Amino acid sequence: MSTLDPWLAIGLSLRAAALATLLSLPAAIALGHALARRRFLGKALVEAIVLLPLVLPPVVTGLLLLRVFGRRSPIGASLAAAGLPLSFSTGAVVLAAAIVGFPLLVRSTRSAFEAIDVRYEQLSRTLGWGKVSTFVRVSLPLAAPGILAGSVLAFTRALGEFGATVVLAGNVEGDTRTIALAVYTLLDAPRSDPAMRPLLAASVGLSLLAVLVHEVLTRHHLERLGLHHE
Amino acid sequence: MRTGVTRIAARPWGAAVFLLLSGACNPAAPKAAGDLTVFAAASLTESLTALEQAWEQQSETPVTVSFGATSQLAKQVQEGAPADVFASADAEWMDTLQAAGLVRTDTRRDLLGNRLVVVVPKAAAFTPRSLADLGRAELRRLALAGENVPAGRYADAVLAAAGQTSAVQPKITRGDSVRTVLRWVADGESDAGFVYASDAKASPAVVVAFEVPAELQPKIVYPFAVLSTTDTPQVAAEFIAFCASPKGRAVFEEAGFAVLTP
Amino acid sequence: MNDAPVFDLDLHVSLGVRDIPLQLHTSAKRIAIVGPSGAGKSTFLRILAGVQRRVRGRLRFAGSTWLDSDAGIHAPPEQRRIGWVPQDALLFPHVDVRRNLLGSRAARPERVHALAEALAIDTLLTRFPRHLSGGERQRVAIGRALLSEPALLLLDEPFAALDPARRRDVVGVLSSEVDRSELCVVLVSHDLDRVAPLVDRCFTLTECGFTETNPTSDVTTQD
């Protein structure tokens, strides 16, 4: 008899993916805008590093994270001493999810900003607004649908993350056993486990929904800006 | 006298494509007739690897051993993976395969025994000395193999028999094989873990904190059997016999297993 | 002239592979710029607005140094008190007309209604830019620039989408605003007859730079 609770896994996956996406947003927005608008030394290197979690095998990403945040590392040891061990905790699930979703998020925010005519921002500056005010009053609202679409994409990726999670977060029922890990665990069961059905349904259903929402948002974003490029 | 093929090969790109295609028709390592494939529980890694080499010195049949969690390997056999010999870490999984008609029952033998122990990292701050100690606050993470893996099942049963299940439940992380549990303890990610005595011997980074008390020690049996899908039953049976030979027994005992008298 | 120059520039701007020299020293406060298309008239406005890249040299306006490459000075746009009306209006698509008009830091809400009425856009305040005609958008853009309390108005073909009647009205509004606030103006247009009341002097911009022209002469350069 399995002690595996599919609803616990589903809830954990949703919470972790949402948290991961939310926490990554500020950095992704700032980075996306910088990559879209500015030229700076080492830009290619930054782009490459951001892209890395997208092209590395997720298990490798997880292993690298373990080296940095595991109990034996300086960072991990001090976290553990402070009573907040990162590896094998829900925090690790969020971290792994955030890292693998980050490249997708930055790509989307960058595209969203690139689609905005830079002259809107320049015009705002001539109206007396500084760089930060212009960003908040003009750039962000115009990029919002695209950023939202990117968030949905990153959320979906985070929801399905497995390789990095299993290496960094282990398989702790309730704390780190996400949908993917639960399915993986159930694969070994001698007979098909009834817990499999809600897990599969949730996984497929949520992903489909997310992709649909992403499509709608992307189109809305383009329409909003398309009408004003004369 | 230029045939069609020669014409293609005459140009550089044509030659490359030609070589690729001919290479594709002669792959490097398919299962050639006569090769032996063994699926073995993860805890047999060191011992069977040593025996693999010894076998190949005295037989012309090359052998390939795939190690993994017993549960995963058994599922693969169920799905039709082409293995000749199966070495399981418990009787239940072998029974499952047998019920599905995948085992040559007359070849099945209980070859090895093992003991369940609790290990801790070498420089552990806290060393539990009993099952009750596992519930103490100083021990924050306890690693077990998965619920369907033999080592995990044994550990669950032991904890239940000792009445410690609820005490340790919130600390448990499940590895997909007993080797994962070993790695977690060795790396210090887990404060303690349930592994086999043979696994504890295999890793210099862990020490045995205590053995599961004799009265709770599960009856751990490693059945070996020839699978019915094999096309080399003779050689497969010979391999099992080799494992049971004095040479084989010496290797297993060295690795920490108990060799069961047939 | 012994008046201090209002527009005082000695610049080079890199556009693609071209390097355009721009030199202008005049004490006129309201000038028109004409010339063949592609000569850099819009670029000149962008330079004055402070949003053009790859500009070197010196630029002074009404005594303030806005750019001095050697001294490392580059006054950012928000400090220049510019009212920029680009050729395609560039209204912010995500807010309505009213909020577009009030889109500058210095805009005062109490002035909106009167100005909107004068520009005949007071009925459009709740509409969004994508629902406006070209002419309507231009008038909103002009309103937005005027409401920002600028010291310098930069107008890039501001009347192109307006019919003659409307053009007269808008020129009238601009004229009174310019007189009232002592604004300086740089106007790029190819229809100088109609805008004569707004400008003191006219310059032609070609590949070789600025040359002064008579504003009432027959200017037939087509863009």
For residues B90 and B219, give the distance between their C-alpha atoms in angstroms, rounded to a whole number.
Answer: 9
Tokens 């890793």 belong to B203
Q: C8 in helix, strand or coil?
A: strand
Number of cross-chain residue pairs from A and B with Cβ atoms under 8 Å apart? 64
Cβ atoms of residues C209 and C23 within 8 Å? yes
Predicted confidence at residue A147, as pLDDT, reads 93
Predicted confidence at residue B18, as pLDDT, reads 53
A151/B contact by beta carbon, under 8 A: no
- Percent of chain B at pLDDT > 90 equals 66
DSSP state of B33: T
Rounded mean pLDDT, A48-61 = 94
A6-226 — its CATH code? 1.10.3720.10
Cβ atoms of residues A101 and A61 within 8 Å? no
C189/A contact by beta carbon, under 8 A: no
Contact A128 C84 (CB under 8 A): no
- β-sheet bridge partners, residue B117: B195, B211
Predicted confidence at residue B262, as pLDDT, reads 61
DSSP state of A138: I
For chain B, positions 39-78, list CB contacts with chain A under 8 A. Answer: 69, 71-72, 74-75
Contact A125 C144 (CB under 8 A): no
A178/B contact by beta carbon, under 8 A: no
Predicted confidence at residue A2, as pLDDT, reads 55
pLDDT at residue A230 greater than cutoff 80 = no
Instruction: For residues B88 and B125, state if they share a domain.
Output: no
- Higher-confidence position of C198 and A20: A20
B150/A contact by beta carbon, under 8 A: no
Rounded mean pLDDT, B234-254 = 93
For residues A117 and A186, give the distance between their C-alpha atoms in angstroms, rounded to a whole number.
Answer: 51
Contact B189 A176 (CB under 8 A): no
Predicted confidence at residue C194, as pLDDT, reads 66
Contact A185 B93 (CB under 8 A): no
Predicted confidence at residue A224, as pLDDT, reads 72
CATH of the domain at B193: 3.40.190.10
C92/A contact by beta carbon, under 8 A: yes
pLDDT band per the 50, 70, 90 thresholds, residue C120: very high
Contact A188 B69 (CB under 8 A): yes
B181/A contact by beta carbon, under 8 A: no
Tokens 């001698």 belong to A190
Nearest chain A Cα distance for residue C209, angstroms: 25
| Mean pLDDT across chain C | 87
Residue C166 domain-assigned (yes or no): yes
* Residue of C77, C94, C106 lying closest to A125 (CB–CB): C77
For residues A57 and A78, give the distance between their C-alpha atoms in angstroms, rounded to a whole number.
Answer: 28
User: Angle at CA C133, nearest 5°, toward C127 and C139?
Assistant: 80
Instruction: For residues B187 and B59, state if they share a domain.
Output: no
- Higher-confidence position of C49 and A185: C49
For residues B195 and B204, give the distance between their C-alpha atoms in angstroms, rounded to a whole number.
Answer: 14
Partners for B (CB, 8 Å, 3+ pairs)? Answer: A
A117/C contact by beta carbon, under 8 A: yes
Domain that holds residue B171: 116-211
* Residue of B75, B96, B141 lying closest to A88 (CB–CB): B141
DSSP state of B173: E
What are the tens digits of pLDDT across the range B30-74?
A: 455 568 999 999 989 999 999 999 999 988 889 999 999 999 899
Phi, psi torsion values for C127, nearest 5 degrees: -85, 160
CA proximity to C149, closest of C112, C109, C101, C181:
C181
For residues C156 and A52, give the distance between their C-alpha atoms in angstroms, rounded to a whole number.
Answer: 46
Predicted confidence at residue B12, as pLDDT, reads 59
Predicted confidence at residue C161, as pLDDT, reads 85
What are the tens digits of pLDDT across the range A31-53?
A: 999 999 998 999 999 999 999 99
Domain that holds residue C111: 7-213
ipTM of the complex: 0.90
Give kind and range of the element (H or E) at residue A81: helix A74-81
Instruction: For residues B92 and B175, state if they share a domain.
Output: no
Q: Do chains A and B touch (3 or more CB pairs under 8 A)?
A: yes
A224/C contact by beta carbon, under 8 A: yes
pLDDT at residue C112 greater than cutoff 60 = yes
| Mean pLDDT across chain A | 89
Q: What is the pTM of this model?
A: 0.79
For residues C195 and C175, give the distance between their C-alpha atoms in angstroms, rounded to a whole number.
Answer: 9
B93/A contact by beta carbon, under 8 A: yes
Rounded mean pLDDT, C150-154 = 95
Q: Which residues of A touch C80 (CB under 8 A)?
A: 126
For residues B101 and C79, give the distance between their C-alpha atoms in angstroms, rounded to a whole number.
Answer: 85
What are the tens digits of pLDDT across the range B179-197?
A: 999 999 998 899 999 999 9
Rounded mean pLDDT, C146-170 = 90
Cβ atoms of residues B196 and B208 within 8 Å? no
Q: Write down the H helix ranges in chain B.
A: 4-10, 12-24, 45-58, 70-78, 91-99, 150-161, 165-168, 178-187, 197-202, 233-244, 246-254
Least confident of A1-10, C157-166, C183-192: A1-10
Question: What total number of domains does chain C contain?
Answer: 1
For A207, counting Cβ atoms within 10 Å of its Cβ (0-12 exposed, 13-18 middle, 19+ buried), the class is middle
Q: Which residues of C touch A224 (CB under 8 A)?
A: 93-94
The four Cα atoms A11, A16, A22, A28 give a dihedral, to 10 degrees, of: -140
C16/A contact by beta carbon, under 8 A: no
Residue B188 domain-assigned (yes or no): yes
- Percent of chain A at pLDDT > 90 equals 67
Strands C18-26 and C30-34, by their bridges, are unpaired
C-beta neighbour count of C141 within 10 angstroms: 26
For residues B249 and A14, give the distance between their C-alpha atoms in angstroms, rounded to a whole number.
Answer: 51
For B71-100, letters b (16+ CB in 10 Å) and e give: bbbbbebeeeeebbbbbbbbbbbbebbbee
- β-sheet bridge partners, residue A37: none
C157/A contact by beta carbon, under 8 A: no
Contact B174 A189 (CB under 8 A): no
CA proximity to A93, closest of A4, A8, A205:
A8
CATH of the domain at C80: 3.40.50.300
Instruction: For residues B45 and B89, state if they share a domain.
Output: yes
For residues A31 and A110, give the distance between their C-alpha atoms in angstroms, rounded to a whole number.
Answer: 8
Least confident of A80-89, B222-231, C48-57: A80-89
A83/B contact by beta carbon, under 8 A: no
What are the tens digits of pLDDT across the range A192-223?
A: 788 899 999 999 999 999 989 988 888 887 77
Tokens standing for residue A169: 């977060």
Q: Which residues of C touch A142 (CB under 8 A)?
A: 92-94
Nearest chain A Cα distance for residue B140, angstroms: 10
pLDDT at residue A153 greater than cutoff 80 = yes
Residue B138 domain-assigned (yes or no): yes
A212/B contact by beta carbon, under 8 A: no
Contact B146 A3 (CB under 8 A): no
Predicted confidence at residue A171, as pLDDT, reads 86
Residue A144 identity (one-letter amino acid):
A
Q: Which residue out of A69, A188, A192 would a mutagenesis test of the B interface target, given it has the greatest number of B Cβ atoms within 10 Å?
A: A188
Predicted confidence at residue C215, as pLDDT, reads 56
Instruction: For residues B133 and B179, state if they share a domain.
Output: yes
Q: Which residues of A touch B149 (CB under 8 A)?
A: 188
Cβ atoms of residues B120 and B206 within 8 Å? yes
**Closest B-chain CA to A3:** B147
A70/B contact by beta carbon, under 8 A: yes
- β-sheet bridge partners, residue C204: C34, C211
For residues C38 and B227, give the distance between their C-alpha atoms in angstroms, rounded to a whole number.
Answer: 83
For residues A76 and C131, give the distance between their C-alpha atoms in angstroms, rounded to a whole number.
Answer: 57
Contact B75 A187 (CB under 8 A): yes
Count Cα neighbours of B118 within 13 Å in the Cβ-side half-sphere. 27
CA distances from A199 to A21, A192, A206, C140 (A): 21, 13, 11, 55
pLDDT band per the 50, 70, 90 thresholds, residue C185: very high
What are the tens digits of pLDDT across the range B156-173?
A: 999 999 999 999 998 999
Q: A75 in helix, strand or coil?
A: helix
Question: What total number of domains does chain B contain?
Answer: 2
Residue C205 domain-assigned (yes or no): yes
Residue C80 domain-assigned (yes or no): yes
Residue C130 domain-assigned (yes or no): yes
Predicted confidence at residue A155, as pLDDT, reads 95
Q: Which residues of A touch B148 (CB under 8 A)?
A: 2, 185, 188-190
B172/A contact by beta carbon, under 8 A: yes
For residues B70 and B240, give the distance between their C-alpha atoms in angstroms, rounded to a whole number.
Answer: 18
